[in-house]
Chain A
Amino acid sequence: MADSDGESLYEGKEYIPMDEKLDKWADVEPIEQYTQENDPGVCKIDYTPGFEEAMRYFRALLNSNEISRRMLELTQVVIKVNYGCYTAWYIRRKCLDEIGTEEDWQNEIKYLNKIGIALEKNYQIWHHRRCIVQKLNDPSNEKQFMEGILKSDDKNYHAWSYRIWFIKYFNLFDGEMEFIEKMIQDNPVNNSAWSYRYFLVNHTKEFGKETVEQEIQYAFQQIKDYKLDNEAPWVYIRGFLAKTDEEAKRSQRPNSSAKRIIITDFPFVKETCLQMLKDYEEGAHGYRFINILLLDYLIGEGLKEEANEVIDKLATVYDPIRENYWKYRKIS
């Protein structure tokens, strides 16, 4: 039954349910996939022999509606050869739900930790992890697991979304602000980290002028310390600010996760922009960002002519690849 193919799924010992424990599988009649004679085989995919064998057994157990320990083991083999197989992930959870012992659930997390890095961009595994951690009601391992994942890719979208989920679900906000300050310091252009900071501020600080001012100051400092051409802190600053009272009011409705305050409540924003326009050279990368924030402020003040002047400069000098967009923004 085993094959000597280098790509076989029988390399790692723990993935050998059929081969090593023949007794367990003796009563199973593997089922071939039925392919009609006239099947054209569009988008045919080349499978390894190991893959086909796993699928034959999986087919057999699915067909007999079996939910068992050996099905649990088999799904692991199927996932190994075809991690996108959403059916295998689903059946695996069904096995755990119906016959899983406390130990099985604990082992599941160990299993996910082990394959987690290799499958860090796989959608199914992240959903699976969420289900398991929820069921175990134990997030104690999660921050540590995250560390490895973020070390491999500090912008991993799955990982950040997952972190938002478990921090919120288990209310683990303690220490998160320190964590994110370090992340931003390590890589100030990491917008995932900035976005996460926004989430933290939303949940741990009282929304109001004071908080917003602190956050804007922090972001300005990051820009000055690191580089002007770092869009992340710029969009972060603008995310707290509305250009009109009406916009501010609307953004502050209950349930809103992006509350904003009218920009003219923060005169230091304008002063800082004007100062930065002087401090940096006109040709500096990122000079456009100062102008874009200043533009927001001028619109907030209702200074139409000054605003249009900035727009003209953006269209022609600072941000010419968006010339038509800036023309569209012209205030009549």
Chain B
Amino acid sequence: MDVKKMLKVLESIPDDSFERTIFYLSANLQNCLKMQSMQSYRLTCAYFIIGSLSLLKVFDDQEQIDKLPFTKEQIIDWVYSFQIEDENSENDSDQDESDSALDHNYHGFRGDDFYSIKKDSKSQTHIHQGDFPHLANTYSAICVLKMLGDDLSRVNCEQIIQSLKYFQKEDGRIQCLPVDSEDDVRFAYCAAAIHKMMAEKLGDLDIPPSFDVDKMIEFYKNCLSYDGGFGWFPESESHAGLTYCLLGAFKCLGRLDDLSDDKERIIEWLVSRQCMETNGFQGRVNKIPDTCYCFWNSASLAILDNTFPTEFVHKESITEFCEDCKRFGGYAKLVFSEFPDIVHTYYTLAFYSLIEDERLNKLDPLLAIPQTKLMLPT
């Protein structure tokens, strides 16, 4: 569906419920339009869309599911098609053995599907070079599967846990690929959350992470800035999104107590990100409010104490801000943004869920997905 046609349909839907939002999301599930630069993050796109639909209780109602462009099973199979499998180990003699042995230590989900090529008339294979799992996409894949009620039985849980060590750099920080790549705090969160979800699936929360947790904690503890927020690297400016990633990583690894000395300062920094004159939440001191920071700040507070978001967040003014950012059923980044996007739509809904909006499923602030486990038969 092209944009003009989509807008026309949208306008015919009443705006007083989430009906428009569901239409907007459903259209994006089918086609993320001209987001060419997101090609390497399609699973992450799916995470935002499925996450929003799941919060909106769409998957709790068969009638609503039937209206989606795909069945749950189709989406689940599609997600699994991104998983890196040991396909070459059986009969591919062309591969340099040591090289393939090395690469096969890397398990998880790739973000690109462009590696898939035709092997013979019936089957597919994957290009070897550069086909790495990516932590954000692996995290997104597992979340999407969980939200769709998949039992994760086809996820290579043990191998993924063992692979995580290849994403750690010598100084303890985590990078997004198992080879030299970007290494900010976001990926520490992904690694910790992936480990937690895999350990849960295996039914053994005591499985130790394959990466060096002490080293990692030591590195990221130093990202605490002078004002009580966390930055990207040691000594960089405090940032709410990165503060969330760091608190989440520590909590997933059962190490939140390592921050207890600074807990009160962190709380004050988070609470202070609510903007008094303009409403909304900002991500850094003196920045303009942005819908996604309603989530990053509130969820960070929730990680520290479940009661904090309802207690400390000024519901009325923040909700008013979010509604001011509503466009065509979705939510935009800023009050003066022209269009909504799936990222800000998801984080606005996730924020609403945290402040106990009854229309939505409850969010697990730590894994950033709805709590409800939808283990319906597939």
**Nearest Cβ on chain B to A318's Cβ, whole angstroms:** 10
Residues 220 to 234 of chain A near chain B (Cβ within 8 Å): 230-232
**Nearest Cβ on chain A to B303's Cβ, whole angstroms:** 17
User: Complex formed: what's the CA distance from A59 to B70 in Å?
Assistant: 28
Chain A residues in 8 Å Cβ range of B37: 82-84
Query: Is there an interface contact between A40 and B78, defined as CB atoms closer than 8 Å?
Result: yes
With A63-B117, A160-B236, A322-B312 known as contacts, the answer to whether A238 contacts B227 (CB < 8 A) is: yes
Chain A residues in 8 Å Cβ range of B238: 195
- Please tell me the number of chain B residues within 8 Å of chain A, measured between CB atoms: 78
From A31, A84, A239, A322, contact of B38 by CB (8 A): A84
Chain A residues in 8 Å Cβ range of B232: 157, 161
Query: Is there an interface contact between A232 and B286, defined as CB atoms closer than 8 Å?
Result: yes
- Nearest A residue to B182 by beta-carbon distance? A127
- Please tell me the number of chain A residues within 8 Å of chain B, measured between CB atoms: 78
Interface string of B3-29 (1 = CB under 8 A from A): 000000000000000000000000011
Query: Is there an interface contact between B182 and A321, defined as CB atoms closer than 8 Å?
Result: no
User: Complex formed: what's the CA distance from A58 to B127 in Å?
Assistant: 11
Residues 229 to 286 of chain A near chain B (Cβ within 8 Å): 230-232, 235-236, 238-240, 247, 250, 255-258, 260, 285
Interface string of B166-207 (1 = CB under 8 A from A): 000000000011011111100000000000000000000000
Query: Is there an interface contact between A90 and B311, defined as CB atoms closer than 8 Å?
Result: no
User: Complex formed: what's the CA distance from A63 to B124 in Å?
Assistant: 13
- Nearest B residue to A125 by beta-carbon distance? B182
Chain B residues in 8 Å Cβ range of A240: 226
Query: Is there an interface contact between B274 and A322, defined as CB atoms closer than 8 Å?
Result: yes
Chain A residues in 8 Å Cβ range of B352: none
Chain A residues in 8 Å Cβ range of B184: 123
Task: Determine if B64 is an interface residue (Cβ-Cβ < 8 Å).
Answer: no
Query: Is there an interface contact between B180 and A90, defined as CB atoms closer than 8 Å?
Result: yes
Task: Determine if A23 is an interface residue (Cβ-Cβ < 8 Å).
Answer: no
Task: Determine if A51 is an interface residue (Cβ-Cβ < 8 Å).
Answer: yes
Chain A residues in 8 Å Cβ range of B286: 189-191, 230-232
Query: Is there an interface contact between B311 and A324, defined as CB atoms closer than 8 Å?
Result: yes
Query: Is there an interface contact between A285 and B35, defined as CB atoms closer than 8 Å?
Result: no
Query: Is there an interface contact between A155 and B116, defined as CB atoms closer than 8 Å?
Result: no
**Nearest Cβ on chain A to B304's Cβ, whole angstroms:** 12
Interface string of A59-73 (1 = CB under 8 A from B): 100110100000000
Task: Determine if B90 is an interface residue (Cβ-Cβ < 8 Å).
Answer: no
Residues 250 to 296 of chain B near chain A (Cβ within 8 Å): 261, 267-268, 271-272, 274, 276-277, 284-287
Q: What total of A-B pairs shows CB separation below 8 Å?
A: 208
Task: Determine if B306 is an interface residue (Cβ-Cβ < 8 Å).
Answer: no
User: Complex formed: what's the CA distance from A250 to B285 in Å?
Assistant: 25
Task: Determine if A325 is an interface residue (Cβ-Cβ < 8 Å).
Answer: yes
Query: Is there an interface contact between B181 and A86, defined as CB atoms closer than 8 Å?
Result: yes
User: Complex formed: what's the CA distance from A325 to B112 in Å?
Assistant: 45
From A86, A155, A161, contact of B40 by CB (8 A): A86
Of B113, B181, B237, B238, most A-chain CB atoms within 10 Å: B237
**Nearest Cβ on chain B to A326's Cβ, whole angstroms:** 9
Query: Is there an interface contact between B114 and A93, defined as CB atoms closer than 8 Å?
Result: no
- Nearest A residue to B112 by beta-carbon distance? A87
Task: Determine if A48 is an interface residue (Cβ-Cβ < 8 Å).
Answer: yes
With A34-B116, A157-B239 known as contacts, the answer to whether A82 contacts B234 (CB < 8 A) is: no
Task: Determine if B332 is an interface residue (Cβ-Cβ < 8 Å).
Answer: no
Chain B residues in 8 Å Cβ range of A82: 36-37, 39-40
Task: Determine if A202 is an interface residue (Cβ-Cβ < 8 Å).
Answer: yes
Interface string of A76-89 (1 = CB under 8 A from B): 00000111111100
Secondary structure class of chain B's binding surface, majority of residues:
loop
- Nearest B residue to A97 by beta-carbon distance? B180
With A43-B32, A87-B130 known as contacts, the answer to whether A325 contacts B271 (CB < 8 A) is: yes
With A40-B78, A322-B312 known as contacts, the answer to whether A90 contacts B130 (CB < 8 A) is: yes
Query: Is there an interface contact between A325 and B312, defined as CB atoms closer than 8 Å?
Result: yes
Query: Is there an interface contact between A191 and B284, defined as CB atoms closer than 8 Å?
Result: yes
From B127, B271, B311, contact of A63 by CB (8 A): B127
Task: Determine if B81 is an interface residue (Cβ-Cβ < 8 Å).
Answer: yes
Interface string of B38-53 (1 = CB under 8 A from A): 1111100110010000
**Nearest Cβ on chain B to A204's Cβ, whole angstroms:** 13
Chain B residues in 8 Å Cβ range of A288: 276
From B34, B40, B233, contact of A87 by CB (8 A): B40
Query: Is there an interface contact between B285 and A46, defined as CB atoms closer than 8 Å?
Result: no
Chain B residues in 8 Å Cβ range of A155: 284, 287
B residues within 8 Å of A by Cβ?
28-42, 45-46, 49, 70, 74-75, 77-78, 81, 111-118, 124, 127-132, 134, 176-177, 179-184, 222, 224-227, 231-239, 261, 267-268, 271-272, 274, 276-277, 284-287, 311-312, 314, 317
Q: List 13 A-B contacts (CB under 8 A).
A: A33-B113, A33-B114, A42-B75, A45-B42, A55-B114, A63-B128, A82-B40, A84-B41, A86-B181, A90-B180, A231-B272, A236-B226, A324-B312
Given contacts A155-B284, A161-B231, A235-B226, 11 further A-B contacts (CB under 8 A): A31-B117, A34-B124, A45-B32, A45-B35, A58-B114, A63-B127, A90-B180, A127-B183, A157-B236, A191-B237, A247-B261
A residues within 8 Å of B by Cβ?
31-36, 38-48, 51, 55, 58-59, 62-63, 65, 81-87, 90-91, 93, 123-124, 126-127, 131, 155, 157, 160-161, 164-165, 189-192, 194-196, 198-199, 202, 230-232, 235-236, 238-240, 247, 250, 255-258, 260, 285, 288, 319, 321-322, 324-325, 328
9 nearest CB pairs, A to B: A239-B226, A195-B237, A191-B285, A235-B227, A40-B74, A321-B314, A258-B226, A87-B130, A127-B182
